[in-house]
């Protein structure tokens, strides 16, 4: 029989500590939709997504009700659209984005990811046109998310793509300047992008994935913070153990939901992504976990060490709890989506340079950071190159999701509303890396031995 205290603990986690399954993401391969006639390809794409994901939202709602677990999002990730665009190189790929947006509306999901290109070693047919079209695609659709992989540990960093992405991020913000530059908030630049990530905006369905798959992202920073608060003055070994145990419980819940969704939809189960994904809701913050460990405020000296411990302990707990852990799994540090990070950025306890250091040990990278509107494309490219270098050398995923706040400067605020949150525009170093960025070429792949 189940212990009463365990039951009450679970209910308390859901009711008071924001425990939830953040997303059920269905990955769908569109390789069989490739056609040299873009209109035919769009029709095939729309039909396939609607056919496969017809019951996704309802199934998610049913499971949520039956198990009493909030399942916040139901989403779709598709094959990088650059692979479809390759077959019709003279056409504007934005048509694909519009077809994805229509499909998302029809089936009722709130985001569809995969307006993507993988160019870490160079541009193939379709890649360049797709990247060029990203700003227009993000400005003219609501639910489409885009990502571009510009580097990897095995291939090095494509600096031509880095230079291009600086311009693309700026233009995405400019075209949506009347909507708080939201275009840039739906665009991620990756190094070592995972092919099975269920979280937006960086989700896409990798070429090595099956035809269709269910990936689940669980969350629960509030639960970890509450567990630490209850534990009181224990030493740091005990803190790590406590995080592992909590992560285990959260992931087991995700695994149950993933298995059930997979069974009901007759789609193979892919992975559980155990990521502590904050939301602007009070109590649902990764920064508060770090502060609970003993920092006066997130961003203080010691923050990187606390985050390293948190990220590692979350992975260790999660790996034991699920048969397949994947995606990004760890701790996210998106500034505008995390109440504690927003406060720390406002009070200047948290700077962009500290965030960069934190990304060496977190599970993603520089995420949801508003920067001054007059930041040049070269500076954005410089930030991307730095971040990609951290990922490349450390064999980890890093990402950049920056929002140039067009017409605004440091200290002012951007407000996206909803899960994307709001936050202050952070200071950047205005010195120019323009000459470095203009060189182009590739940073060679790093040594994987002789590591010091």
Contact residues toward another protein (CB under 8 A) are 1-4, 6-11, 15, 62, 65-69, 249, 252-253, 255-256
Residue closer to another protein by CB (options 8, 438) is: 8
CB of 74 to another protein, least distance (A): 17
In the bound state with another protein, the residue whose beta carbon lies nearer, of 14 and 231, is 14
Q: Burial letters for 360-376: b for 16+ Cβ neighbours within 10 Å, e otherwise?
A: bbbbbbbbbbbbbbebb
Answer for the pair 295, 344: CB distance below 8 angstroms, yes or no: no
Residue number, 64 or 176, with CB nearest to another protein: 64
Distance of closest approach, residue 4 Cβ to another protein, in angstroms: 5
Nearest distance from residue 69's CB to another protein, in Å? 7
CB of 110 vs another protein, minimal distance in Å:
22
CB of 305 to another protein, least distance (A): 29
Decide if 151 contacts 192 (C-beta within 8 A). Answer: yes
- Rounded CA-CA distance 147/81 in Å is 10
Nearer to another protein, 6 or 142 (CB): 6
- Please state the closest distance from residue 126 (CB atom) to another protein, in A: 43
Least distance to another protein, CB of residue 284, Å: 19
Our CB check for another protein shows the closer of 205 and 249 to be: 249
Shortest approach of another protein to residue 80 CB, angstroms? 34
Select 11 or 31, whichever has its Cβ closest to another protein.
11
Minimum distance from residue 226 beta carbon to another protein (Å): 15
For another protein, the closer CB: 64 or 381: 64
Q: Any idea what the Cα angle at residue 97 is, between residues 96 and 98, rounded to 5°?
A: 90
CB-wise, 15 or 47, nearer to another protein? 15
- Our CB check for another protein shows the closer of 49 and 253 to be 253
Indicate the Cα dihedral angle 404, 407, 410, 414, nearest 10°: -70
């Amino acid at each position: 029989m189940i212990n009463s205290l365990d039951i009450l603990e679970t209910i308390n986690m859901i009711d008071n500590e924001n425990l939830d399954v953040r997303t059920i993401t269905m990955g769908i391969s569109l390789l069989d939709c490739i056609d040299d006639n873009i209109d035919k390809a769009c029709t095939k794409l729309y039909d396939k997504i609607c056919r496969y994901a017809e019951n996704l939202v309802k199934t998610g709602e049913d499971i949520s009700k039956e198990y009493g677990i909030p399942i916040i999002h139901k989403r779709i990730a598709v094959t990088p659209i650059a692979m479809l665009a390759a077959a019709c190189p003279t056409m504007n790929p934005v048509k694909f984005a519009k077809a994805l947006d229509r499909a998302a509306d029809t089936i009722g999901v709130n985001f569809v990811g995969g307006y993507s290109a993988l160019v870490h070693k160079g541009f193939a047919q379709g890649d360049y046109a797709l990247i060029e079209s990203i700003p227009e695609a993000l400005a003219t659709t609501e639910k489409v998310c885009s990502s571009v992989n510009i580097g990897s540990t095995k291939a090095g960093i494509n600096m031509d793509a880095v230079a291009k992405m600086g311009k693309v991020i700026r233009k995405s913000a400019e075209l949506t300047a009347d909507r708080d530059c939201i275009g840039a908030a739906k665009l991620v630049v990756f190094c070592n992008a995972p092919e099975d990530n269920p979280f937006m905006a960086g989700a896409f369905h990798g070429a090595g994935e099956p035809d269709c798959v269910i990936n689940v992202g669980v969350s629960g920073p509030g639960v970890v913070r509450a567990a630490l608060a209850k534990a009181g003055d224990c030493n740091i070994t005990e803190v790590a153990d406590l995080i592992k145990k909590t992560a285990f419980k959260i992931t087991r819940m995700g695994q149950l939901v993933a298995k059930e969704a997979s069974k009901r939809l007759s789609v193979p189960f892919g992975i559980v992504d155990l990521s502590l994904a904050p939301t602007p809701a009070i109590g649902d913050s990764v920064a508060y976990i770090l502060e609970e460990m003993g920092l006066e405020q997130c961003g203080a000296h010691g923050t990187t060490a606390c985050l390293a411990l948190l990220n590692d302990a979350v992975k260790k707990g999660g790996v034991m709890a699920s048969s397949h852990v994947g995606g990004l799994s760890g701790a996210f540090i998106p500034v505008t989506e995390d109440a504690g990070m927003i406060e720390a950025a406002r009070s200047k306890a948290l700077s962009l340079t500290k965030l960069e250091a934190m990304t060496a040990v977190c599970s993603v990278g520089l995420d949801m950071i508003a920067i001054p509107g007059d930041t040049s494309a070269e500076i954005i490219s410089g930030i991307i190159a730095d971040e990609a270098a951290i990922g490349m050398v450390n064999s980890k995923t890093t990402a950049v999701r920056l929002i140039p706040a067009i017409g605004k400067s440091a200290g002012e605020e951007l407000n996206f509303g909803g899960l994307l949150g709001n936050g202050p525009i952070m200071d950047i170093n205005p010195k120019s890396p323009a000459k470095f960025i203009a060189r182009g070429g590739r940073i060679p792949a790093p040594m994987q031995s002789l590591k010091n």
